């Protein structure tokens, strides 16, 4: 929602409201930015001990609200404990008195209150305070917070984030502002959502036009193929744009109005944030167990293991750990930061996680969910996995979706 300029005077003349955590799960913190005390609320997961870097999610409230007020409805705090990331809820810089706070969105010259500058300072502070993976920093926002998320990226801070996810946000073109005023400093994967029941208009453009403009803008910035894949998943009807340096999504959410709906946090994390890493030199490093790969033409690689077992032909996608296997025709995500020793892959075709083990080196894999050792066997006719445990030799054939005993 667009902020009312009249409230800007209040924000310049007054102080931020004193805020207290809504529950014991949140801790109130402050910093002084441009002579003003700014506040945020943070939650560290119970698993955080500083021994390894963890992701960070920044959650921006809507207009006439506060970070601690928005936290329970957003559902990010319990997800933080479940998934092991740090979550923070900053307060906007516009003061609406007893009605709450808001974000000074769609400003690009540091006009007070400089909320884009404050968010940058907040990220700098958090990265210096906690052991956070700088390539796994994410921002999400609702309404005015969604607009502020885009404003932050457009103020030259897109390169500080791996991905954003917004709900029910405006786009600057509805206020007759040209997109050329924005200067994102890099690609950022973006997920835009809109409730199907939102039937009002802000500014000069309909929500449909704003969403189309916003989606097209990020598709261009990220260099995606303009023809999306259409995916229907329950209440989410999603257009997915890939093929570039980032990934862009737009979802129409059936039955929802102007709201950050129940389940949004789990959806944004599970389908998007959890697998996207910032496109940086650190993130671009190949996993260590890919040593020995042979680069071919057009970004294709071939790998054969020291044992002689072939992995085959593959290419890196948006996330360098996100691999498309040409021989088998499906995708893997490799990751070594999941709390288990070794590395794991997620097989999108079978929907399973598989882990390496010091006892069973690649291509022997241990599936923690199934508690069994699986042997990866690239068979052109029956791509699947052998199960070698207990003397049994069973094979799951993806082509027929059946188990074969051999």
pLDDT digits (tens, 9 = 90+) for 286-328: 444 455 667 665 566 666 655 555 556 666 554 444 555 555 4
What count of other Cβ atoms lies within 10 Å of the Cβ of residue 124? Answer: 12
> Higher pLDDT residue, 68 or 17?
68
332 and 358 fall within a common domain: yes
173-231 pLDDT tens trace: 999 999 999 999 889 999 999 999 999 889 999 999 999 999 999 999 988 889 999 99
Residue 283 pLDDT > 60, yes or no? no
Question: What is the average pLDDT value for the chain, to the nearest integer?
Answer: 76
Q: What CATH number is given to the structural domain containing 147?
A: 3.40.50.1820
298 and 351 fall within a common domain: yes
> Higher pLDDT residue, 12 or 357?
357
Question: Mind spelling out the 3-state secondary structure of 155-185?
Answer: HHHHHHCCEEEEECCCCHHHHCCCHHHCCCC
**Contact partners, residue 159, CB within 8 Å, separation at least 6:** 184, 185, 186, 188, 278
> Higher pLDDT residue, 383 or 112?
112
44 and 117 fall within a common domain: yes
**Contact partners, residue 151, CB within 8 Å, separation at least 6:** 103, 105, 106, 107, 108, 115, 116
> Higher pLDDT residue, 349 or 256?
256
Helices (H) and strands (E) in the chain, counts: 7, 24
264 and 334 fall within a common domain: no
Residue 160 sits at φ, ψ, to 5 deg, of -85, -10
Query: Do 95 and 137 contact (CB within 8 A), yes or no?
Result: no
Mean pLDDT score, 15-42: 74
115 and 51 fall within a common domain: yes
113 and 27 fall within a common domain: yes
- Whether 38 is in a domain gets the answer yes
Coil/strand/helix, residue 128: helix
- Whether 323 is in a domain gets the answer yes
- Whether 67 is in a domain gets the answer yes
Domain range spanning residue 205? 6-275
188 and 258 fall within a common domain: yes
CB burial of 159-169 (b: ≥16 within 10 Å; e: otherwise) equals: ebbbbbbbbbb
Q: Which of 275, 298, 319 is the last residue of a domain?
A: 275
Q: Which of 275, 309, 341 is the last residue of a domain?
A: 275
> Using CA atoms, how far apart are residues 363 and 343, in angstroms rounded to an integer?
12
Give me the pLDDT at residue 186, please: 85
Give me the pLDDT at residue 322, please: 53
């Amino acid at each position: 929602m667009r902020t009312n300029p009249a409230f800007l005077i209040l924000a310049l003349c007054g102080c931020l409201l004193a805020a207290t955590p809504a529950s014991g799960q949140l801790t109130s913190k402050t910093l002084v930015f441009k002579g003003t005390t700014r506040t945020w609320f943070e939650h560290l997961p119970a698993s955080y001990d500083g021994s390894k870097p963890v992701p960070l999610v920044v959650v921006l409230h809507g207009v006439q609200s506060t970070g601690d007020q928005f936290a329970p409805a957003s559902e990010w705090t319990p997800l933080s404990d479940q998934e092991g990331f740090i979550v923070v809820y900053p307060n906007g810089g516009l003061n609406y008195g007893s009605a709450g706070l808001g974000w000074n969105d769609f400003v690009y010259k540091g006009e007070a209150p400089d909320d884009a500058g404050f968010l940058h300072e907040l990220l700098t502070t958090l990265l210096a305070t906690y052991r956070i993976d700088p390539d796994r920093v994410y921002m999400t926002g609702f309404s005015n917070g969604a607009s502020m998320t885009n404003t932050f990226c457009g103020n030259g801070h897109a390169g500080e984030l791996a991905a954003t996810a917004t709900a029910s946000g405006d786009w600057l073109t509805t206020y007759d502002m040209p997109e050329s005023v924005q200067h994102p400093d890099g690609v950022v994967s973006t997920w835009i959502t809109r409730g199907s029941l939102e039937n009002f208009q802000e500014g000069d453009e309909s929500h449909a036009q704003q969403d189309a403009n916003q989606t097209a803008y990020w598709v261009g910035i990220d260099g995606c193929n303009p023809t999306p894949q259409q995916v229907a998943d329950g209440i989410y009807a999603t257009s997915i744009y890939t093929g570039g340096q980032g990934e862009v999504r737009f979802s129409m959410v059936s039955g929802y109005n102007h709201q950050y709906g129940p389940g949004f946090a789990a959806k944004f994390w599970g389908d998007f944030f959890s697998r996207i890493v910032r496109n940086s030199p650190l993130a671009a490093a190949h996993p260590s167990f890919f040593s020995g790969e042979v680069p071919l033409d057009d970004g294709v690689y071939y790998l054969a293991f020291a044992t002689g077992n072939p992995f085959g032909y593959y290419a890196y996608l948006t996330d360098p750990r996100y691999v498309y296997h040409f021989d088998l025709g499906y995708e893997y995500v490799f990751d070594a930061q999941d709390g288990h020793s070794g590395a794991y892959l997620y097989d999108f075709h079978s929907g399973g996680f598989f882990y390496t083990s010091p006892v069973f080196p690649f291509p022997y894999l241990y599936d923690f969910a199934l508690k069994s050792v699986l042997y990866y066997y690239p068979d052109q006719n029956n791509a699947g996995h052998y199960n070698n445990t207990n003397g049994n030799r069973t094979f799951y054939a993806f082509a027929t979706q059946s188990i074969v005993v051999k």
